[in-house]
A and B are shown apart, each in its own frame.
Chain A
Amino acid sequence: MIGRSLTCAALVAGLSMLLCAPASAAGLRLGFTDLGTVQGDNPAERPLELQHLKATRATTVRLMYEWRDIEKAKPPSDAEARNPAWSGYDWSEVDATLRDIATAGVEPLVEVSRAPAWWEGAGRPAISPTAQTGTWRPDPAAFGRFMHAAASRYSGRYPDPLLPGRTLPRVSLWQAWNEPNLPNELTPQWTRAGSRYAPASPAHYKRLLNAAYTEIKRASPGATVIAAGTAPFGEPWPGGARMPPALFVRTLLCVDGRARPKARNCRRNPARFDILAHHPYPIGPPGRHAVNRDDVCIPDFAKLTKPLAVAVRAGNVFPKRRKPVWATEMSWDTNPPDPGGIEPLRQGRYAAGSMYVLWRQGVRALLWWNLRDDPGPNYRSTLQSGVFYRGATVALDTPKPSYTAFRFPFTAFNSRKRGALLWGIAPTRGAVTIQRQTGATWQNVKTVTPGAGRVFQTRLRSKRGDVLRATQAGEASIDARIF
């Protein structure tokens, strides 16, 4: 009897391990958005900025372009709209930025949003904070045609107009729109019939996404289409300015029910994308959950991945296969320089901690908002969340502790019963040594070998107050304190 029980327990444990394994079998892609410098007014600073990005060991840079900034006139025909060489398009800035990015050996992710005025829908109210330029019912077919032109131009086969004999760089990561659950990105969010509100933005966004997906794949079949990253918070009532992200995603995927999601039949009109994205800006430390049931902070990705899995099984998404999930924006500001920010060391530790919390939930990319701080002094409306303090020029920028957290992430979770769980991403595949601080010196306490994606994790008996770090080939990670 005891034997049978043990066998049963072993089987259950084994099965559990198998089921849990896929979620932690891969690494975590790291990257940055830096509108101010990578896409800023002084392109001379861009190459050095990209070197700073590479120095963090991040591999990806997210670029954000507005459709209305590139399309200077209304295309005379659908064919011209799909033509990347049409004279009404001004790609000069995009071309130049992508050339520098290709030279630096960084992978670009290009996000496009905001329609030109001529592609906004009927019934547009006056421009206001709740109905901003380029957000009102953008024409999905026109967006698709524009994305076709963009994906053709950056398919890796299009001749570079400035460098004869060469082609423009290839973009393989495309993101269709930004934060479509916010009224400053897509409007209207809700429609009202009598006293009742119905979600409007998810259905309209699905049309935009599907048009973009179809046209991008036609122009560049190997490209990856990422759904717009949803913003983390919404008003928790119908008709609010912002739609809560979990509600937005469920509606997009034709899934009802928060606790036990159930798919409606939307197989004839599935949402088309390769990767689902979200922006889990925090309200505290990396493990703190959102307060509202449909808001999504760092540890709340299950609110998105559960309905996503249900939608995949039901055929409500295309292609019908498991979708990776990415965090395409997130950050904490630091003080200095922002008086409303957190201490720089804490930002670094939070950054490493958030990488673990995201990775554990199956999130496969974290694109941090800002490589270098935005300029002050308007701290309330700018972000000082960079991993570099801003100098007078990029050359004078100086790294924060979060720079180390990106180069060599390492974090620890204490458990009195099982010891501290240590987690990190090693710079290379070789063995990692865990060290404990003793006075002014560091003593080796354990060696671990990283797995897939250079991720390592282990447990270690520790006591309160221990300070640990990981090292590899003489390079040290950000340290972690045991509490």
Chain B
Amino acid sequence: MRFTASCLTLLLALALAAVPAGAEETNAPPGNSGLSQYLEVVPSARGNTPSTRKQSDGVSRPQLASEGEDGERLDALAGPDSEPDDRDGSRTTDDQAALTSDAAQSRAAAVTGTIGGSGSSFGLGLWMPIAMAVLAAVALLAGWRRRSRSAAE
């Protein structure tokens, strides 16, 4: 029983962990307005989806950027007023509001997408629910066997 519970908890944790990364991610070049051809799109856990308008309004995730030594130094050199990264002023207040509502709206969709699969070329797609079902079956089987053994004893 404990094993089953652990398994289900693990599964739940996996599904939840996928949620924050479920939305499309973009890194906006600071100071280059909203010209969508100059926005970097970061793949999401839900799988990649084709380019849409949402890219330019997506959630910034500057932590993903692998900052080289030079980058950190130059960032620091830029001035005492250097802030961390989404400070670079790449977004307006309107953008931030749009992002917040976008992120909120997309959370449920992201869970559905993560569990159901988005059918994209690189994501887990249909394999995700299959893998989860197999894991659940294994957990149930193990629980049932343990219960049978203790009943026999």
Residue positions of A touching B, CB distance < 8 A: 179, 182, 184, 195, 231-233, 235-242, 281-292, 295, 299, 331-335, 338-343, 345-347, 349-350, 353, 357, 379-385, 411-414, 480-483
Contacts and interface: CB of A to CB of B under 8 A. Distances in A.
A350 B88 CA distance: 12
Contact of A381 (B29, B34, B42, B91): B34
Contact of B70 (A350, A357, A483): A357
A207 B65 CA distance: 35
B65 A288 contact: yes
B70 to A, nearest CB: 3
Contact of B31 (A236, A287, A338, A414): A338
B74 to A, nearest CB: 4
Contact of A283 (B40, B48, B82): B40
A436 B79 CA distance: 16
B51 A240 contact: yes
Contacts of A332: 29-32
Contact of B65 (A284, A339, A357, A414): A284
Interface majority SS on A: helix, strand, loop or mixed?
Answer: loop
Contacts of B121: 195, 237-239
B67 A281 contact: no
Interface string B114-148: 00000011100000000000000000000000000
B40 A483 contact: no
Given A350-B78, A480-B77, A333 B32 contact: yes
Contacts of B79: 343, 345-346, 349, 481
Given A237-B48, A350-B78, A284 B62 contact: yes
A236 B123 CA distance: 12
Nearest to A345: B79
Nearest to A283: B27
B33 interface: yes
Contacts of A349: 74, 77-79
Nearest to B30: A342
Which of B37, B39, B48: most chain A CB closer than 10 A? B37
A237 B121 CA distance: 8
B104 interface: no
Given A342-B88, A357-B70, A281 B64 contact: no
Contact of A346 (B28, B65, B78, B120): B78
Closest A-B pairs by Cβ, 10 of them: A287-B71, A287-B70, A483-B76, A241-B51, A333-B31, A332-B31, A380-B34, A285-B75, A237-B48, A288-B71
Interface of B: 27-35, 37-43, 48, 50-51, 62, 64-82, 85, 88-92, 95, 120-122
B48 A287 contact: no
Which of A195, A299, A346: most chain B CB closer than 10 A? A346
Nearest to B75: A285
B80 A481 contact: yes
Contacts of B50: 235, 239-241
Nearest to A288: B71
Contacts of A413: 70, 73-74, 77
A338 B66 contact: no
Contacts of B81: 343, 346
Nearest to B33: A380
B77 A483 contact: yes
B74 A286 contact: yes
